Structure 1
C-alpha cells in the first residue's frame, strides 16, 4: 500500500524550523551572514542533541530579518508541504523572531506571511493558519509581550496560542498569565509538553495552562493513569514521531509510543515539527508509520479525521477542508 499520496492535515509545524537548508544558505549568502558550523558537508543542518538543535535553529532563524524574508520562507515551506499531500496546516510563528515583539512590526511580518499563504492556497490548494508561540527559554516576561501581540492580531488567520522551546526552562505556571491573555482574546491553546519532560510535566502543563492540545505529549506513555486521563478528557496529541526518533528520544520507529497511545484511546495526530532538521516530510512520516505498525488506509484516515476535528480555524474553513479531504 502506498500512503504517501493520502491527503494530510498537519497541526505541529514550526515555520522557521521548516526552512529548507538551501533556502537559509541562499539567504545568508545574500546578506553576507556567516553560518559556519550549522551545516554538514552535504548542506544539511547539523547538531548533536536537542539543546544544540535549539542553537542551530536560532542561528538559522537569524538570517530572516524582514517581512519579505518571511514571505519567501512561507512560500518555500508551503510548496514542500503541498508536495507531501498536506491540504491544511497550522504553523507556529513567534513575534520574538518577527519584529522583536513590537506589535506594529509584528503586524507587518504577519501581513507578509499571510499574503504568501493566500498565494500558496490559490496555486497549490494548501490552507495555512497561524499559532502565535512564546519561547519558553526566553522567559515569562517576553512571553507576556508575545501574548499581547497574539491578542492584538487574533482573528481568522491567527487562531491559536502556544509555547515551545526548552521544556526544562521554568515551570508552566510561570506562563499562566500569557495563556490567560490569549484565552481571553478568543485564541485556542496548545502547549509543548511531554517531550523532554515526563508525565509530571504534562500534568503541570494541563493544570497551569489548560490547553486543549499538547505538542508531543508522548511521554505520557510512562504513566498509565495519565494516558487514561488524556483519553478521557480528549486532549489531542500533536505527535511528531520522526522528530522524536531523530533527537534520540526513542531509538527507532517501532519503539515509538504513538501506536500504543492510539490503542489506549488517545487522540493522536501526526506532524513533522521541523522537517528538514529531521530529514522528514509528512509523506515520509506516513510511510514509516505504515512500515513500523502496519497501519492501513483506514488508520491514516482516522488520524487525519482526528486532526481535522482538532483544528483551530473557524467553522467555514474547517468545512472547506473537510470537503477537500472527501474529494481526495
Structure 2
C-alpha cells in the first residue's frame, strides 16, 4: 500500500512523540522523566487503557515550549509523509500545554510552525482540532472552548474531546461543544471506545458532532450501525489502538470491515502510534491484508477521510484530486 496516498483524522499530537524524542526534549529542557515511562528496550510502558493515559501524561510532560510543539509536529508529519500521507488532522491539547506553562496561543503557534515546516519540506498538509480532556471535567472543557473561540487560528478547523469515557456524561460538555459549534466549527467526540453503544447514542443526542472518534462499539447494536450508516456520520476508526488496549484480540477480530460493509463511513487512523507500535502506514497495510482490500478500496478509505475532514472545501478538493 506504499503507493496509496493516505490521510488521517484521529491522532493525538502529544501521543505521536516517540520515546527517543521524549527523551531528547526532556534532556534539552533539563526535565526529569519518570523511569517507569519506558520499558527496558526504550518503548513506552503501560499495562491497560487507564495506565496508558497515565503514561501518556508522563511522556507529554517532556513537551515544555512552543518550539517543542513545533518539533513534535514536524517530526510526526515527516514520518507520515514518508508513508505517502498527504493530510493529517491532529488533536491538540491546551490542557497539556498549560500544565507545562505554555499559553494557548503559543501552543497553537508552535504546532502551526511545525505544519508550515513540514509542508515546505515534504508537501504534506496538516490542520488542528483543539480538544478538551473528558476526565478533567466540564469546567476545564468550557475554559478550553472559551479560548478556542476567543483566539481563532487559520489552522484550527474543529473542536473535540478525548479522555476517559467513564467520567461524566456527554451532556455535561454540551456548553463547551455548542460554543465551538455556534462559532461555526465542526466537532468530534471520542465515544464507543471503552464506553459502550450508549456512549455513542448520548453523544449523538447531546453534542453537535459531525464525526465520532472511534465509535467501534457501535457494532454491538445493529440499529445503531444502521443509524450511523443512514446518517453517514464518519467513524474515526483506530484498529491498532483498539487491539493494543485490549478491546479486540487482533485485526481479524476488529469490526472495521463489518462497519464498512454495513454502509458506515469508515476512516483509518493511528491514534497514539508510538504507544501502540503502529503508524498510519502500518494501519493501511494491516487492514488491507486482513480484509483482502485492494488499492482501489484503500484509496476510497483515504477519500472518505478527506471528505470527512474539517478543513476548507478548496483544500479538500485539491487533496481528493491528488488521490
- Aligned match of 2:74: 75
In the TM superposition, 1:213-228 aligns within 5 A as 213-228=211-226
2:275 is the counterpart of 1:282: no
Choose which of 10, 19, 22 in structure 2 pairs with 1:21.
19
Kindly indicate whether residue 1 of structure 2 is the aligned counterpart of residue 6 of structure 1: no
Partner SS, residue 89 of structure 1:
strand
Query: 1:4 and 1:271 mapped to 2: Cα distance?
Result: 16
Distance in 2 (CA, whole Å) between partners of 1:287 and 1:324 is 20
Checking the alignment, whether the CA contact within 8 Å between 1:95 and 1:149 is kept in structure 2 is: no
**8 A Cα contact 2:134 2:141, kept in partner:** yes
**Size of the alignment, in residue pairs?**
322
Q: Could you tell me which residue of structure 1 aligns to residue 168 of structure 2?
A: 170
- Give the 5 Å matches for 1:1-328: 3-30=1-28, 31-99=30-98, 105-325=103-323
Shift of 1:324: 2.6
Q: Secondary structure at the match of 1:306?
A: helix
**Superimposed CA distance per residue, residues 39-77 of structure 1 (whole angstroms, 9 cap, x where no aligned partner):** 111100110000000000001111111111111111111
2 CA distance for matches of 1:153 and 1:5?
Answer: 39
RMSD over aligned Cα atoms = 1.4
How far does residue 176 in structure 1 lie from its aligned partner after superposition?
A: 0.3
Unaligned segments of structure 1, at least 5 residues: none
Structure 2: gaps (5+ residues): none
Q: Give the CA deviation at 1:152.
A: 2.0
Cα displacement (A) at 1:155: 4.6
SS of residue paired to 1:181 = helix
TM-score, normalised to structure 1, is: 0.95
Is the deviation greater in 265-274 or in 4-13?
4-13
> 2 CA distance for matches of 1:136 and 1:295?
35
Return the alpha-carbon distance in structure 2 between the equivalents of residues 32 and 167 of structure 1: 31
| Alignment partners' CA distance in 2, 1:293 and 1:177 | 41
